Structure 1
Amino acid sequence: MTQTRQSPTAGSRLFSPARLGPLSLPNRLVMAPLTRNRADADGVPGELMATYYAQRASAGLIIAEATTPNAVGQTYPHIPGIHTPEQTAGWRRVRDAVRDAGGLMFLQLQHGGRIGHPDTSGHLPLAPSAVLHPEPLHTPTGLQAAVTPRAMTEADIRSTIADFADAARNAVAADFEGVEVHAANGLLLHQFLAPNTNLRTDAWGGSLDGRIRFTVEVVRAVTEAVGPQKVGVRISPGVEVNGVTEPDTERLYPALLAALAPLEPGYLHVEYADPDDPGFARLRTAWPGTLIANPRLSREELAADAGAARAERLLEAGADLVALGRGFIANPDLVERLRTGAPLNELRPEFLMHVHGPEGYTDYPALTRESFAAV
C-alpha cells in the first residue's frame, strides 16, 4: 500500500548539494541510525545488511546503525559490533556495497551501559552507578527483567574510552567516512549525563562538569584516533527514554556543547529536533559547526509526507542537514520519492526490531522507471 503526497517546491534546499568537512554530499537528507537486529549472533554484518544499506545509497549520507565498541556494551541480540576482526570485515563488505552504489557512510558507536543482559552479551552490564533499568530487556530467550549493573571503576571508564577509540579506528579501516558517538537515548553516555543514573561523587559525576566528563573524554579519544572531521556526536536533549531523567536540560547541554566545541567534531546530531522549539534555536546558536537535525514524527505525519515538510522547516531554522529514519526504512529510494512527489510505501512496524530476515527489511519496493515517469 502507498501514500501519495505533494512534491516539495522546486529548488528545495533538501535536494541541493552540501559539504560535511571534506565530503561533498549530493543532497541534505541523511539516513538516521536505525537499530534493525539483522547481524548474526556474533554481531557480524552479513549480505542481508549489505543489500539493505546499498538499496538506500541515494541518501546524502547514511549513518549506519548503533554498533558496539566492546562485548559488554551490547544491548540486544543481533546487534552489530566493531570490536572483532570478523565484525570489522563484515562492515567492510557492507561499506563496499554502499560505495559501489555511490553512497557515503558514517558508523554510529553505541555502548548500552545498563541496557544489557548477561544472557545477551555474556557479561554483567557496566554503568556509571548500580542503578537498575526499570523495564524488561530483550534477550535471546525473550523478554527478561533487567539486572542491576556494576558501577564502573576508574579502570573500567578508561578502558571503555579506549574501546571507543579502537572501534573508531576499526570503522575507518572498514572504509567508513567517519563515526558518530551516541550520547543519546538513555545509553551509556547519556547515563553519565543524567543525574538519576549517575550517582557518582568522584570526578565522573556529581557536578555538571563531572557528569559531562565521560562524553567529552570519549569524543576526545575518538577525534584523536581518527581526526575530528571524521567524528559526529548525537544528543537527545530533554528526551527521557530508557529510564533517564533530565531536570537540568537547559544547563546540561550548553555546558556539554561548550566542552565539545574545542574538539571540533565534524557535526552535532540533534535527535527529536523541533523547528518551533526555542531549545533547538539555542543549540543552533551554541554550536559553531555542522548541525544535523532529526525530527520527531508521529505515524500520521510519517504517512502524510515522511518528514519532508518538517525537514524543510528545520533547514529554515538553521539545520545544515536533516536526518530521517522510518521514511528510509520503508522507502529505499526516499530521496527521489520526496523530490518528485512520488507515492510512499507504508511502514510495517511489526518488522522494525527484534525480528530477522528480509521481510520488512530489504523487500520494500523501489519505484520503477515507469512509475517515476508517470509522476
Structure 2
Amino acid sequence: MSTAIDPWPWRAALADLLQRTRLAQPDELADEVAAAAGPLGLAATIYLVDQEQRTLRAVPRAGVATADPLAVEGTVAGRVFMTVRPAPVPAGGSEPARLWLPLLDGTERLGALELVAHGDVRLGDEAFVAGCDLFGQLVGHLIATKVPYGDALLKVRRVRRMSEASELLWRLMPPMTFVSRRAVVSAILEPCYEVGGDGFDYAADGDTLYFAIFDTAGHHLRAGLGTAVVLSAIRAARRADERLEAMAAAADRALEEYLPELRFTTAVLAELDLERGRLRYINAGHPPPLLLREGRLVRGLTGGRRLPLGLGDKGVEAGEVTLERGDRILLYTDGVVEARDRDGTSFGVARLAGLAQRDAGRLPAPETLRRLCHQALSHYDGPPSDDATLMLVEWSYDAVRAMLPTAGRD
C-alpha cells in the first residue's frame, strides 16, 4: 500500500482510533492504538516515561512480549523524549525503518511512540511523517483522558510501590508542564515515590498566571496532609477572586482549624501579569526564588516576606518586580540546595543557579528541571533526607516555541 501522498488514510485512522477507544479501558488502549495503526502499514508501541524520568517503559499488549525499558539517557527514544523532536531511524540489515515521536498531552511530556514501517511505507516522506505526528498527538491526548479510569497506565510508570503521602499529593497537583502563548510553567518533585510535604500549583486565566510552591514541615503522610489542606484553602480563595494576601490568610486559617498540631508550611505564592510582566509575590518563610535573565542570575527575589503559613502574619505587603521578555523564575525547596555529599558539602544555591544558567535557552524547561533535580539527588550521600522540588516559570514567546515538537532547534 502507499499512503505517503494520500491524506485520507490518516483521516480514517484517526476516526477508527477514536471509535475504538471510546469504550476502552486504560489497559486496552495500547492494543487499540496498534489496531488503528495497522492498516497504515505501521506497528505502534507506546512507551511511557517512568515516574523518576529515567527510563521509557513499554505499555503491555495482550499476547505480545513487552519490550525492555529504554534509558532516557543515551537512546534515540530518550533523545526524542528530552528534546520533543521526532527521530526517523532508517532501515538497516534485517531491521525495518521506524519513526520515534514525542508522546505529549498538549505539551506535557508522557513518553515516546514507536512506529515501525512494513511493506512499502516510506517514513522519509514529509507528508507521511506529518500524518504520523497527528496520529501521535491523538494518542497522547487519549492516554491523558484514560489514566484516571484505571491503574494500568499508572503502573507502567512505576518501578516500585508509592507511599501514601505520594499517592495523595500526585493526585492533587496539576500536570508538571503547562504552556500557553506567553509563558511556560514546569515543575518536578522528587523523591517521587516517597514525597513528604512538598507540592506545587499553578493556574492561568486571562492575563494572569498564578503559581506557587509549598513545603510542609515534617515527613510522610502527616506532612502530605498539611500540603493538601494548604492547596485546598488557597485554591478556594483564588477561585473566589481573592488576592495573594487573602490566599495566604486562608491557608493560615485552614491549618489552624484542621491540623493545629502541624508546625507550618513554607511557600511562595505569586501572580504574573502575562501582558505587562508585572510579578507580585509573597514569600512565607521559603527560600527566595531566583530571577534568571539572558542566561545569568540577576538576583534572588527577597521581597514579600512573612511568617510561614499556619503561623499567621497580618499586614504583609507583596513583593513586586517587572520582568523582561525571556526572564525565568526558578523556585525550589530546601531539599534541593541542602543535599550533602559524603564530605558534608551542600549542593547550594550557587551550584543550582550555575546549572540553571548553563541550560538556560538551550533546553526546554521540563528537561532543564529534570537534569537539575537528578544532579541534586545524585549529590546526596545515600538516600535523600528531604523532598526536592523545582519549578521554572518563563515569560517568553521563544520558550513556548521551544516546547512544540515541530520547533526547529539545533
Identify the structure with bigger relative contact order (alpha carbons < 8 Å, sequence gap 6+). Answer: 1
Of the two, which has the highest radius of gyration?
2
TM-score by length of 1: 0.29
